[in-house]
Every structure is written in C-alpha cells, then in structure tokens.
C-alpha cells in the first residue's frame, strides 16, 4: 500500500524496542512530514553515534576515544568499582549522586540458555583491574533478575578465590520508595521483610 | 553525562511524536547496542524516504515520482474523490476495502487560530479536478474534530457554488463497532442517536 522507501522506513523503525507496526507507521509519516533538515539531523545523529562512540578500554562504558569520561575523571575513587550489565545502567546510578567510584560494564549477564557464558562478558578484564590491588570494594549492581542475580553470585564466588582482599557488596532489594504495599509483588515484599532494619 | 554524539542522538529522537526523554534514551542505547548495519539501515531509510518520496501532482498523496500508485491505477473510479487531511489518512480508508475511487489530500485542515486558511490547503487544486466534469461524488473524510468539521462545511459551501453537479457526502458519525455505550462520550452518542436508522 505504501511506496517501497516508506515500507522500508516503517520496517526499520519497527525494529526499535517498544515500537510496533502502528507506531512505526506514525513515526514514518512524521518523518515524511517534517523538513528535510529535521529528518536528516536524526539520520546523521544515528550515523555519527555509530561512527564515533565506542567502548572505554578500561571499563567498557560508552566512550568517544579510548577512555570514558568517568575513567578520565581524576576525582573518582579508584578504590570502589560498581559492576553493571550495560552502559545504560551507568546513568541511573550516576543520577543518584550516591556513588563516586568507577564502573565496570560486563556487557550483559550470564545466561546459559541464551549461550552467554563467563567468557562472553568482560569478567577477565575485571579480574585484571582487581589484580592491580587498588580496589577495596566491588559493588555488584547487575539487574535484580534471574540472570542478573546469577551473575552476581558467580562474581562473588570467583572473587572469593581470586581477589580475597576485595569486599563484594550487592545493591539492597526492597520496596521502591513511594510504593504501596498493596501493589508490591510477593518476592520484593519478602526480601524487604528479610532485610528489615531497626529505626 | 553522555558523550556529545549520544546527547545529540537522544535529543533528535526526542523530537519524534510520542517519544519523551526516557524513551529517547532507551532508543539511543538500543541503537548503540545493535550492529552498525542495523543502525545505518535506519539512518539510510530516513535519508532515502526524504530523497525519493514526494507528493502526487494530482492528489497530493505520497508518491515516488510525479503520480501516486492510486492515481496511476486505471481500475480506480475517477468519478468519486475522497478528501482527506493527510497522506496518512489514506491508509485506514484503503484498509477497509470499501472505497474504490480516488483521493485528494488537503495537507491539513482549516484552522484560523493556527493561521491555516483555505489558500494553505490544496483546495484550488481540488476545484480544478472537479472542473473537468468527471467527478460525481466527493466524500469528505476530514477528521471528526473541530477543524476537520469546519473544513468539511467550508468545502460543502464552496462546492454548492462552484461545482453544483457534484454530490458532497460526509463519513457517518456514530459509535465505534464493538464499543460499550457506557464508555461513549456524549457527543458521539448524541450523533449516533440523531443518525439512527431502521433495522
């Protein structure tokens, strides 16, 4: 029903996460309606990001150039490393302003079913960073999902053996701030109970 | 917090309709994660659509080349023209398989507040098409909004004067198929009442 280039744009847009056929159509018609400048600015931004943004050689966070801004920042505490699954996990943590250490991005989580084994993640590079002896604490901030938890347990295990001097911590589980008990799932609520503290 | 090219991509994505800052971030990280091929396929599709897709010189629907597929299709009935606001309005109508005539895309709806006057829409071109004498009926399928209704009334008015031989019709208003009376707004329900028919 559409001209071929329109169909192509719709199917490319529909590959974006959370974008179904309908939304892709709506976005495509928006792109057709706006000025050439506005549309090409988006096309160029996609191209530019793929051409210029790579991964930090130290922590595998996103970086323009060999090292990311956080690894280049001398004020960050090299004694604490926060381990996350993806570069996008760095942002919410930075937003809390609670963490002044450095990061290590694993590039995913262990998932034998999906064929993701330890050697597919940046775990050896993490061990090498710990080997330098500067790191006191490793905060494991992988997701609170089955694969994220499995990865955390695997790392804790490995580190007990290979870097016994490093304290391994995990982000607390519990009720989200502002949450209604009524709407909390039982696993979260159960954990919040087990981790209760005196006031 | 992000590298400049990432920020640029996020702000370009956030200009898309229905895409807020959070969604734009999520999309940007998706684009960073996928292969260069997949990302550049999207960039190229945007570029291609802007370079190759224009408007049909007859009906102002989207077209690759001077005329759209519908205007080029000899089997379509040239005696009935359906008037819509935007090229995107053609698709839902085509999907019904109820209409075998041709289209005329106005390029918007009359809205004096937003500075959209008759001369900003493809109304003169419509009058010229009617002037050829082939058209028996004009189905006004502008949106069921204030501006769409105003445009329909304006067109009906103009046509009574300038093309008295052409029957002007309007899509029926009423309850959506499958809708609950309980959730229908009173304007829709009122129209459905006024337009009731014997069974």
Give the up-direction half-sphere exposure of residue B48: CA atoms within 13 A in the CB hemisphere: 15
Same domain, residue pair B39 and B98:
no
Instruction: Kindly state whether residues B87 and B149 are assigned to the same domain.
Output: yes
The token duo for A53 is: 């943004």
CATH number at residue A151: 3.40.1360.10
Residues 126-155 of chain A with CB under 8 A from chain B are none
A37 part of contact set with chain B, CB < 8 Å: no
Residues B151 and B108 in one domain: yes
Shared domain for A44 and A128, answered yes or no, is no
Among A172-186, B36-50, B80-94, B123-137, the least confident range: A172-186
**Mean pLDDT score across all residues of chain B:** 90
Query: Domain for residue B71, yes or no?
Result: no
pLDDT attached to residue B183: 77
Question: B47 and B11: one domain?
Answer: yes
Chain A CB within 8 Å of residue B15 CB = yes
The answer to whether residues B127 and B161 touch, using CB atoms and an 8 Å cutoff, is: no
* Any domain includes A27: yes
**Min Cα separation A1/chain B (Å):** 7
Can you read off the two tokens belonging to residue B76?
């379509």
Nearest residue in chain A measured CA to CA from B13: A42
What pLDDT shows up at residue A182? 77
In sign, the C-alpha dihedral spanning A121, A123, A126, A132 is negative
Is there a single domain that holds both residue B48 and residue B100? no
Q: Is there a domain that residue A190 lies in?
A: no
Cβ separation A42–B87 shorter than 8 A:
no
Residues of A with Cβ-Cβ distance to B53 under 8 angstroms: 3, 5-6, 32
Residues of A in contact with B47 (CB under 8 A): 39-40, 43
Q: Do residues A46 and A93 both lie within one domain? A: no
Nearest to A15 among B32, B38, B43 (CB): B38
Domain span holding position A18 = 4-52
| Same structural domain, B27 and B81 | no
d(CA A64, CA A157): 34
Classify residue A23: in a domain, yes or no. Answer: yes
Cβ contact, residue pair B88, A25, below 8 Å: yes
- Nearest chain B residue (CA) to A92: B1
Q: Note the ipTM here.
A: 0.76
pLDDT of residue B186: 80
3-class DSSP string for chain B: CCCHHHHHHHHHHCCCCCCCHHHHHHHHHHHHHCCHHHHHHHHHHHHHHHHHEEECCCCCCEEECCCCHHHHCCCCEEEEEEEECCHHHHHHHHHHCCCCEEEEECCCCCEHHHCECHHHCCHHHHHHHHHCCCCCEEEECCCCCHHHHHHHHHHHHHHHHHCCCCEEEECCCCCCCCCCHHHCCHHHHHHHHHCCCCC
Q: Taking CB atoms and an 8 Å limit, are A53 and B3 in contact across chains? A: yes
Write out residues 63-102 of B within 8 Å (CB-CB) of A: 63-64, 69, 86-88, 91, 94-95
Residue A45: count other Cβ atoms within 10 Å of its Cβ: 22
Query: How many structural domains is chain B composed of?
Result: 2
At B149, list the tokens: 């209704």
- Cross-chain Cβ contact A87/B31 below 8 Å: no
8 Å CB contact of A5 and B62:
no
Question: B30 lies in a domain?
Answer: yes
Specify if B177 maps to a domain: no
Residue B118 shares a structural domain with residue B43: no
B28 with B13: CB under 8 angstroms? yes
Please list the pLDDT of chain A residue by residue as tens digits (199 residues).
678 899 999 999 999 999 999 999 999 999 999 999 999 999 999 999 999 999 999 999 999 999 999 999 999 999 999 999 999 899 888 888 888 999 999 999 999 999 999 999 999 999 999 988 899 999 999 998 899 999 999 999 999 888 888 999 988 888 787 777 777 788 888 777 777 776 6
- Return the CATH number at B12: 1.10.8.420
DSSP code at position A165: T
**Domain identity same for A154 and A84:** yes
Closest chain B C-alpha to A196 CA, distance in angstroms? 32
Looking at the fold, whether B161 and B102 belong to one and the same domain comes out as: yes
Contacts of A53 in chain B (CB under 8 A): 3, 5-6, 32
Burial class from Cβ neighbours inside 10 Å (0-12, 13-18, 19+) for residue B103 reads buried
Task: Please check whether residue B35 touches A, CB under 8 A.
Answer: no
H helix or E strand, kind and range, residue A154: helix A146-162
For residue A142, being part of any structural domain is answered with yes
Residues A45 and A99 in one domain: no
Flag whether pLDDT at B175 surpasses 80.
no
Percent over 70 (pLDDT), chain B: 98
Whether A164 is in a domain gets the answer yes
């Amino acid at each position: 029903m559409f001209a071929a280039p329109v169909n192509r744009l719709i199917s490319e847009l529909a590959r974006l996460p959370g974008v179904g056929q309908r939304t892709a159509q709506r976005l495509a018609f928006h792109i057709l309606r706006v000025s050439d400048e506005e549309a090409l600015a988006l096309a160029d931004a996609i191209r530019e990001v793929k051409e210029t943004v790579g991964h930090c050689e130290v922590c595998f966070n996103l970086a323009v150039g060999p090292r990311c801004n956080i690894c280049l920042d001398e004020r960050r505490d090299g004694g604490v490393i926060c381990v996350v699954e993806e570069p996008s996990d760095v942002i919410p943590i930075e937003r809390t302003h609670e963490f002044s250490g450095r990061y290590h991005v694993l590039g995913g989580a262990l998932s034998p079913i999906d064929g993701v084994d330890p050697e597919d993640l940046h775990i050896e590079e993490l061990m090498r960073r710990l080997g330098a002896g500067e790191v006191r604490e490793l905060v494991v901030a992988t997701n609170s999902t089955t694969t994220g938890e499995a990865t955390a347990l695997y790392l804790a295990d490995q580190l007990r053996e290979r870097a016994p001097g490093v304290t391994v911590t995990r982000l607390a589980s519990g009720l989200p701030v502002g949450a209604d008990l009524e709407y909390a799932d039982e696993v979260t609520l159960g954990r919040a109970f087990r981790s209760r503290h005196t006031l």
